[in-house]
Amino acid sequence: MQLVGGEFDMELNFVIQDAQNIQHMLELLDHCPPSLQAEIWSVFIAILRKSVRNLQACTDVGLIHHVLQRLPRAETVVAELDSELLCKWLFRIIFKD
């Protein structure tokens, strides 16, 4: 799975190429320990900040719904990042559009 198509680089290659790979990332997270989930979510939140196209890709796969479903069973550190993701996303939708 390649979320951004090629080697990820926070400055040069951060645009999600295939929205369905977000779904694959979520499936992968189910098999990761909380510390790795937190690391993945932190990087994912950072790439969402960099591109409106990334936010659109998340909308296309219904990421808000998936994140809300995960919150009740998430470890605290992961739940906090999931909440941050939702807040930043909603803020951007409300105040940038």
| Six-digit token string for 11 | 């400055």
Domain that holds residue 38: 20-96
The predicted structure's pLDDT at residue 1: 58
* 1 is a domain residue: no
pTM of structure: 0.81
Digit-coded pLDDT (tens) for 35-93: 999 999 999 988 888 888 998 899 899 998 999 999 899 999 999 988 888 887 676 66
- The answer to whether residue 31 sits within a structural domain is yes
Token pair 């939702």 is found at: 86
Task: Quote the number of domains for the chain.
Answer: 1
Inside any domain, residue 8: no
In a domain, 11, yes or no: no
Q: Which residue has the tokens 């950072």?
A: 46
Within-domain flag for 53: yes
Least-confidence region, from 2-6, 9-13, 90-94:
90-94
Cβ distance 51 to 11 under 8 Å?
Answer: no
- 33 exposed, middle or buried (CB, 10 Å; 0-12, 13-18, 19+)? exposed
Side chain identity at residue 31, one-letter code? H
pLDDT for 93: 62
